[in-house]
Amino acid sequence: MAREFFRSDRVGDAIQRYLANMIQQEIRDPRVGMVNINDVTVSRDMSFAKVYFTLIGGDEAESRASGEVLNKAAGFLRTLLAKELNMRTVPRLQFYYDHTSVRGQALSSLIDKAVAEDRSKGGDEDE
């Protein structure tokens, strides 16, 4: 059975593609490092877009500073998006730091640590 594709999903994908390029090419602020756009969620009425991003090799303070810069540049980025997208109105952009990748790495290291402890305990009992 075919999956339904909503217009807001397609618009979110297009915004994600364009923003990834625009941020790297147009934003010249040194506080914005290597930004990765993870997801864009557009409201059903196309008025707002939540943009979730991560920094490559950045810490919590850098991510907070980058989020502030991106939110201040949201109007500028929205203007650039309006030139690229063929839409009557372009959604307002709100940037949010995405903690899922950092949390995933932390959980993965905890799992690896637990597995290593189980192996070391299991190896001692067998001998």
Convert the pLDDT of each residue in 59-85 to its tens digit. Answer: 777 888 888 999 999 999 999 999 998
State whether residue 43 is helix, strand or coil: coil
pLDDT at 4: 67
Instruction: Read off the pTM.
Output: 0.77
Tens digits of residue pLDDT in 80-117: 999 998 888 899 999 999 888 778 888 888 899 999 98
State whether residue 18 is helix, strand or coil: helix
Token pair recorded at residue 48: 């707002």
| Architecture per CATH, 7-98 | 2-Layer Sandwich (3.30)
Distances (CA, A) of 115 to 107, 120, 122, 125: 12, 9, 10, 16
